[in-house]
Chain A
Amino acid sequence: MTQAAIEMHGVNKTFGPVRALMDANLVVHPGTIHGLVGQNGAGKSTIIKVLAGIYKRDSGTVRVHGQELDAITPAAIEACGVHFIHQDRLLVPTATVAEAIFLRNEPHIGPFINYRQMNKRATELLKRYFDLDLDPRTLISELSTAKQKIVQITRALANDAKVLVLDEPTAALVSKEVSSLFAVLRRLKADNLAIIFISHYMSEIDEICDVVTVLRNGSDVGVVTPAEAGIEAIVQMMTNRDTSEMYPRRDVTIGEPVLSVNGLTLAGHFRDVSLEVRAGEILGITGLLGSGDKELVSTLFGQSVPDRGEIVLNGKPVSFRSPVQAVRHGIAKIPEDRRAHGVATGLSVGENIALASLDQMSGWGFVNTRTEAAKTEALIKELGIKTPDRHTMVKNLSGGNQQKVVVAKWLSCDSQVYLLDEPTVAVDVGAKVEIYNLMNRLASEGKALIFLSSDLEEIVEMCDRVLVIYRGALIGEYQRGEIDADRLLAAASGAQMEQEGRSA
């Protein structure tokens, strides 16, 4: 066997009371794409950050190309040829493409940067590896997320990378971009690079990885070949759970209409939308990127004021000019960007849960801390939020648990209508199931749910009814069991608009 590119053995790391890594091992060989999978909180990010020198390990050995590293610093690990493409884009938005690629490695004449040379080499690299004609003087902020990823990878290649670590590289990419990224990775693999690939998308793991290390609760529980073991076995190793329980069933009688919308129009986004959602019902809305589904939900939450049409809540017409009014009327939104809009990561679990319902836990403007404690503790217990206590900062919780905090916040203020915008994006399989259970619970309590997702399978499995939106207009309505994911995709793409669309 060849010399391993990365060897990590018996790595331990604790954060206060939380043991993030327990004797974890990771061995990656050159010329392979090595998947790293596990639920949120399993230790994927931690082991990568230990390797990157962002966290200091408590114990364990790390060898890069056979050379043992004692204390790792970000600069030292990069000097060993290990490059990281982190999930959050870590590029200076005001730099040009060429500047970003050659950051800290600028071609220069004396103290001056040789811009001509730099731009020329950037163009060559982008052309050679990605077959991409990109003006190297373009600003990073003007690039799509996919192109920014490419610039990051190019930077690593320009620095003579031997090992490439990609943390959720496809999270913000559309499928065409994903396949071109995969083509690049395969080419790099042929050049004998070692690639560590972290993803929540099991289909991607299956497609691209040669070997997979599965992490659970901070330890590696297996190193398998996806082609032999199969995805289901890997998922089971991750969760210790059978995939058939993925979409839990519910038994709910659907009640009266709670929210209905008539002829709602927001110029440039959607027009003449009419729909209703009943108590205990999960209504799915699906459409392609830019079809107006997001704007529709934002408008229902008061983020935009519609040009025409009316919103009727419990039989009474309402109009919202801001989320403040929507929240007062019992509308809750679980936003797509959880960390930016859903939870305040720097506040505690309890503070987050109470945020929308403080009025009900206070008298004369003062918070009744006893009521607050009782109510938030009860919700933490009820939803099974995994946290040492309610004073823990939300940033210390895993993604799935953060999402539960968002739901707890709305349960606390007794919202009637839940607008869920991609609630399961970037959470792992186990947390997804918990979120589905939570949705079922909300439905069984008589809440009305509107559910947006680009994961068509979960739309098909979870919703009582699905509406298809296409270029700002509702073009189809399907009851549960009437449609499968493939046909839904066809409908969302506008293929069956003529024949089958039963306009709602």
Chain B
Amino acid sequence: MTMQAETGRTRRFPINIETISNYVVIGAFCAMLVFFAAFAPGFLSGENLYNVISNRVVLLAIVALGMTIVIAAGGIDLSVGVSMDLSSMVFIMLIAAGLGGFVGVLGGLGAALCVGLLNAVLINKLKINPFLATLGVLFIGQSVQRLSTQGGVPIYLTRAEFAAPFNAIVRSSLLGIPTPMIVLALCLVAVYLAMHRSVFGRYVAALGVQADVARFSGIRVLFHMSMVFVACAVLAGISGILLSSTVRSYVPFAGDSFLLDAIGATFIGTAISSERRPSVVGTLLGVLLLAVMRNGLLLMGYNFFWQQVGIGVLVFVVLGLSFGLRKRAD
């Protein structure tokens, strides 16, 4: 009886420390927008915002979505950079061979799929923990790139004869919306539905919280865990193809720089849910936060090294505030 009365009260006054702690990420994001609008020259210009989104947000968000699924299932995937790079490499090589964009995309995604399947086998059949399994795949993947490119020589396809497939992917638009953003939107919707609306997403959450309970409830643990890693690799593969199409080249190890940002964005995103679980909306916010931070500092004249410091401080502030307030609420 007491419980019901108390619940009623919580509903009438939804603002308490616990709820506030969930809005820290959103608050930080707004504060940052205001700050950079005031102090970073040209931050709010349409051109700049378009660049931020098309160069960084789209690519990182797609990788981070995959990472979100994996982390929600209680794993980690250190090989997303490899999935991206191998997809990008195969895509570029197939186009260089004159096989065209369609075959290139299929080949690239196929390469990423192979990385995902390898992870799935290592983790589920050989029972290696995800951290070590994907770390191993990361090393192997880097070597594969070196071995196939004479030690890491980039492949540039800047000649006009190759322009068509790249333009079709990144310079095209549908109803005025650039294709990469449509791809991102599709990925967002698909992963959102999978994680937050589907049976699969529920099972993934159960796996992440307590895998043994999932097994005892008759959930096919191995199958779902495998699907998680495959999905993550394919998403990274999509991002790799978009990256290559933008720069019209394959640069070995370019994907590695996305790994830590993707993990960071996912964990920042957990701060918006009251259960501190990874979520699609949270991850997207995390991605925006990281991208805006980098871009704003750049416009203010700080180079890459200072951007890293900014990101570090951002992570401390957001997670520190959010988890600290949460703990006070307990």
Residues of A within 8 A of B (CB): 15-19, 323-324, 326-328, 333, 335, 340-348, 351-352, 354-356, 358-359, 362, 365-367, 386, 388-389, 393, 409, 413
| Chain A: CB-nearest residue to B211 | A344
Known: A346-B275, A367-B199, A393-B275. A333 touches B216 (CB 8 A): yes
Chain A binding surface, main DSSP class: mixed
| Chain B: CB-nearest residue to A355 | B217
Q: How far is the CB of B83 from chain A (nearest CB, A)?
A: 24
Partner of B206, one of A17, A342, A351: A351
Partner of B3, one of A18, A328, A355: A18
Among the 9-residue stretches B4-12, B128-136, B172-180, B181-189, the one with 4 or more Cβ atoms under 8 Å from chain A is B4-12
Answer whether residue B14 sits at the interface, using C-beta atoms and an 8 A cutoff.
Answer: no
Tell whether, in the assembled complex, residue B209 and residue A347 are in contact, meaning their CB atoms are under 8 Å apart.
yes
Partner of A341, one of B10, B198, B213, B275: B213
- How many Å lie between the Cα of A243 and that of B49 in the bound state? 72
| Chain A: CB-nearest residue to B330 | A15
Known: A341-B216, A347-B206, A409-B217; 4 extra A-B contacts, CB below 8 A, are A346-B209, A346-B275, A362-B199, A393-B275
Tell whether, in the assembled complex, residue B218 and residue A328 are in contact, meaning their CB atoms are under 8 Å apart.
yes
Answer whether residue B202 sits at the interface, using C-beta atoms and an 8 A cutoff.
Answer: yes
- How many Å lie between the Cα of A348 and that of B202 in the bound state? 11
Q: List the B side residues contacting A356 at CB < 8 Å.
A: 217-219
| Chain A: CB-nearest residue to B210 | A344
Chain B binding surface, main DSSP class: helix
Tell whether, in the assembled complex, residue A388 and residue B212 are in contact, meaning their CB atoms are under 8 Å apart.
no
Answer whether residue B197 sits at the interface, using C-beta atoms and an 8 A cutoff.
Answer: yes
Q: How far is the CB of B96 from chain A (nearest CB, A)?
A: 39
- How many Å lie between the Cα of A351 and that of B205 in the bound state? 10
Q: List the B side residues contacting A358 at CB < 8 Å.
A: 199, 202-203
Q: List 19 A-B contacts (CB under 8 A).
A: A17-B2, A17-B7, A17-B10, A327-B217, A327-B218, A340-B210, A340-B213, A341-B212, A341-B213, A345-B209, A345-B210, A347-B210, A351-B202, A354-B202, A355-B219, A358-B199, A358-B203, A367-B198, A393-B275
Tell whether, in the assembled complex, residue A366 and residue B330 are in contact, meaning their CB atoms are under 8 Å apart.
no
Answer whether residue B193 sits at the interface, using C-beta atoms and an 8 A cutoff.
Answer: yes
- How many Å lie between the Cα of A393 and that of B275 in the bound state? 8
Partner of A335, one of B6, B10, B198, B216: B216
Known: A355-B214, A358-B202. A367 touches B197 (CB 8 A): yes
Known: A17-B3, A358-B199, A366-B197. A344 touches B220 (CB 8 A): no
Most B CB atoms within 10 A — which of A323, A327, A348, A413? A323
Answer whether residue B200 sits at the interface, using C-beta atoms and an 8 A cutoff.
Answer: yes
Answer whether residue B215 sits at the interface, using C-beta atoms and an 8 A cutoff.
Answer: yes
- How many Å lie between the Cα of A327 and that of B220 in the bound state? 11
Most B CB atoms within 10 A — which of A15, A18, A388? A388
Q: List the A side residues contacting B205 at CB < 8 Å.
A: 347, 351
Known: A365-B200, A409-B217. A344 touches B330 (CB 8 A): no
CB-based closest 7 A-B pairs: A327-B218, A17-B6, A346-B209, A344-B210, A344-B213, A356-B217, A358-B199
- How many Å lie between the Cα of A347 and that of B204 in the bound state? 12
Q: How far is the CB of B128 from chain A (nearest CB, A)?
A: 21
| Chain A: CB-nearest residue to B3 | A388
Q: How far is the CB of A423 from chain B (nearest CB, A)?
A: 14
Residues of B within 8 A of A (CB): 2-4, 6-7, 9-10, 18, 193, 197-200, 202-203, 205-206, 209-210, 212-220, 275, 329-330
| Chain B: CB-nearest residue to A337 | B212
Tell whether, in the assembled complex, residue A388 and residue B214 are in contact, meaning their CB atoms are under 8 Å apart.
no
Tell whether, in the assembled complex, residue B6 and residue A388 are in contact, meaning their CB atoms are under 8 Å apart.
yes
Known: A344-B206, A351-B206. A388 touches B213 (CB 8 A): no
- How many Å lie between the Cα of A465 and that of B200 in the bound state? 41
Q: List the A side residues contacting B18 at CB < 8 Å.
A: 16
Q: How far is the CB of A473 from chain B (nearest CB, A)?
A: 27
Partner of A19, one of B2, B4, B193, B220: B2
Known: A323-B218, A356-B217. A365 touches B198 (CB 8 A): yes
Most A CB atoms within 10 A — which of B199, B216, B220? B216
Q: List the B side residues contacting A344 at CB < 8 Å.
A: 206, 209-210, 213-214
- How many Å lie between the Cα of A19 and that of B6 in the bound state? 10
- How many Å lie between the Cα of A352 and that of B216 in the bound state? 12
Most B CB atoms within 10 A — which of A17, A326, A351, A362? A17
- How many Å lie between the Cα of A393 and that of B237 in the bound state? 36
Q: List the A side residues contacting B209 at CB < 8 Å.
A: 344-347
Q: List the A side residues contacting B10 at CB < 8 Å.
A: 16-17
Q: How far is the CB of A159 from chain B (nearest CB, A)?
A: 28
Tell whether, in the assembled complex, residue B219 and residue A324 are in contact, meaning their CB atoms are under 8 Å apart.
yes
- How many Å lie between the Cα of A389 and that of B210 in the bound state? 21
- How many Å lie between the Cα of A16 and that of B274 in the bound state? 13
Q: List the A side residues contacting B3 at CB < 8 Å.
A: 17-18, 386, 388
| Chain B: CB-nearest residue to A22 | B2
Q: List the B side residues contacting A367 at CB < 8 Å.
A: 197-199, 202
Q: List the B side residues contacting A352 at CB < 8 Å.
A: 213
Q: How far is the CB of B22 from chain A (nearest CB, A)?
A: 14
Q: How far is the CB of A117 from chain B (nearest CB, A)?
A: 39
Q: How far is the CB of A413 from chain B (nearest CB, A)?
A: 8
Known: A358-B199, A367-B197, A367-B198. A389 touches B217 (CB 8 A): no
- How many Å lie between the Cα of A343 and that of B217 in the bound state? 9
Q: How far is the CB of B224 from chain A (nearest CB, A)?
A: 11
Q: List the B side residues contacting A340 at CB < 8 Å.
A: 210, 212-213
Q: List the B side residues contacting A366 at CB < 8 Å.
A: 193, 197-199
| Chain A: CB-nearest residue to B196 | A367
- How many Å lie between the Cα of A413 and that of B199 in the bound state? 14
Q: How far is the CB of B326 from chain A (nearest CB, A)?
A: 12
Q: List the B side residues contacting A386 at CB < 8 Å.
A: 3
Q: List the B side residues contacting A18 at CB < 8 Å.
A: 3, 6
Known: A344-B210, A393-B275. A323 touches B215 (CB 8 A): yes
Tell whether, in the assembled complex, residue B218 and residue A343 are in contact, meaning their CB atoms are under 8 Å apart.
no
Tell whether, in the assembled complex, residue B212 and residue A355 are in contact, meaning their CB atoms are under 8 Å apart.
no
Most A CB atoms within 10 A — which of B4, B10, B219? B219
| Chain B: CB-nearest residue to A15 | B330
Q: List the B side residues contacting A328 at CB < 8 Å.
A: 218
Q: How far is the CB of A391 from chain B (nearest CB, A)?
A: 9
Q: List the A side residues contacting B206 at CB < 8 Å.
A: 344, 347, 351, 355
- How many Å lie between the Cα of A356 and that of B220 in the bound state? 11
- How many Å lie between the Cα of A337 and that of B13 in the bound state? 38
Q: How far is the CB of A410 from chain B (nearest CB, A)?
A: 9
Q: How far is the CB of B226 from chain A (nearest CB, A)?
A: 14
| Chain A: CB-nearest residue to B7 | A388
Q: List the A side residues contacting B212 at CB < 8 Å.
A: 340-341
| Chain B: CB-nearest residue to A302 | B218
- How many Å lie between the Cα of A271 and that of B275 in the bound state? 47
- How many Å lie between the Cα of A341 and that of B215 in the bound state? 8
- How many Å lie between the Cα of A139 and that of B16 in the bound state? 47
Q: How far is the CB of B314 from chain A (nearest CB, A)?
A: 27
